[in-house]
Amino acid sequence: MFRRAFVPIVALGLTAAIAAPASAGPDNVPGTAGATTVTGVAEPARPAFYEPPANLPVASGAVIRTEPATQFLDPLGLSSLSVSATRMMYASKDRLGRPIAVTGTVFEPKAGYVGLSARPLISFASGTMGIGDKCAPSRGLAEGLTMYEILFIQGLINRGYAVAFTDYQGLGTPGTHTYMNRVVQGQAVLDMARAALKRSGTTLTASTPVGIYGYSQGGGAAASAAELASTYAPELKVKGTVAGAVPADLAAVVKNLDGSVYSEFLNFALLGLASGYGIDMDDYLNDAGTQVAVATENHCTVDLPKAAFQDSSKLTLNGQSVLSYLTVEPFKSIVAENRIGRIKPSAPVLVSHSLLDDAIPYAVGRQLAKDWCGKGGNIRLTTNVGPTHIGGALPSSSDSYAFFEARFAGLPQLSNCWTIW
């Protein structure tokens, strides 16, 4: 079912003059024309907008195509009087540096921005929506599926910011979403910002101040983007990042998820890592595990109850838990490669985490802040008591407002690294 060799993997509005072939090919790259799932299960038909062209721009952040975006929460389109909403397909890179197509949405207020800078742009990294194409945030807005962070996005728009959020690699587009792949998620967030600045008709410019925000999966993507910004997208004027409930250490997170109410997140991660690293899961899963993997391909977060309290040792060929596999190769190296906290962010970061987080342990977020502080980063850790993983999202969003206001006003962040032991 998963038979693939292990491969280590480090048009409207087409803006690049040079394009590169981007067919799925032998490596089956998610986000390219013809890519297939790691389980071999056919994906449901997707809207034509989400089908990548055969040739993709080489330049990361190049706009491939756009169309007006429809908000399910505003079916009458009343918000179009004050905010423009544009669905975009743009160019990014996979972990080998190969061109991929990624989709997302940009909101831009029509009223003038009242602030000490030009209108800022927030590159918003969505939290876990699922792994099936129908779960893509840009589709969720239009089709009425769960897009629980729309209220947080609205709060940023209300402050006059433009907001752009990515669907990530393979979410909405062909192939299995590379869930929890550090580098490609961070690149997708940065390239979403690049594409938003290049969108036809925008008032945003190359000098637009940029903020990065994310929680949970989005926290990991935002944290990765903060680490990569100075080298991958040095032209972006990144002023700061808010990263909430960051899954910075996959081994610690897996230990907490296995057998919990959040076991579906572990299923997402296994498929996402298999997709990103070309792992043949036939070597590790028994028949029951294969059935779970096949079913998971089209799951969204609303499907969490289907895998609640699942014991991963019941799904593997040798009866070992997923955590035990992470201590041996190739998984040991994969976990190490996806560890966040080893690169100093070039701009201030606010790390937000709840003491009561039952999915991503608070200790993981605290250790991330400590790691960055040890590298000389300008880091501030804020601790809240939002109940459960979901409850910690609201304090994280609330913390972001004052943080971004200060950064865009040119005020320095007061680090509290000295309090993090």
What are the pLDDT digits (tens) for 208-233? 999 999 999 999 999 999 999 999 99
Q: What are 83's two structure tokens?
A: 């905010």
Q: Compute the distance between CA of residue 63 and CA of residue 16 in angstroms, rounded to an integer.
A: 8
Residue 240 has pLDDT above 50, yes or no: yes
Is a pLDDT exceeding 60 seen at residue 383?
yes
Q: How confident is the model at residue 13 (pLDDT cuts 50, 70, 90)?
A: very low
pLDDT at 211: 98
Read off the amino acid at residue 170.
G
Is 4's pLDDT higher than 50?
no
Give the integer Cα–Cα distance in Å for 175 and 275: 8
Quote the mean pLDDT of the chain. 89
Backbone angles phi, psi at 332, to 5 degrees: -60, -45
DSSP 53-122: -SEEESSTT-EEEEEE---TT-TT-GGGGTEEEEEEEEEEE-TTS-EEEEEEEEEEESSPP-SSSSPPEE
Cα end-to-end span (Å), the chain: 47
Q: State the Cα–Cα distance between residues 131 and 307, nearest whole angstrom.
A: 14
pLDDT (tens digit per residue) in 28-78: 899 999 999 999 999 999 999 999 999 999 999 999 999 998 765 565 555
Per the CB < 8 A criterion, the answer to whether 123 and 225 are in contact is yes
With pLDDT > 70 as the criterion, what percentage of the chain qualifies?
90
Task: Report all structural domains of the chain as residue ranges with CATH numbers, in order of start.
Answer: 19-249+337-419 (3.40.50.1820)
CA distances to 42, 94, 171, 199, 281 from 39, in Å: 9, 20, 15, 36, 8
**Cα dihedral 108, 147, 293, 328 sign:** positive
Question: How do residues 130-149 score in pLDDT, each as one tens digit?
Answer: 999 999 999 887 665 556 78
**What DSSP state is assigned to residue 310?**
-
CA atoms 169, 171, 177, 182: torsion sign: positive
Question: What confidence score (pLDDT) does residue 77 get?
Answer: 57
* pLDDT given at position 2: 40
Can you tell me the mean pLDDT for 146-170?
89
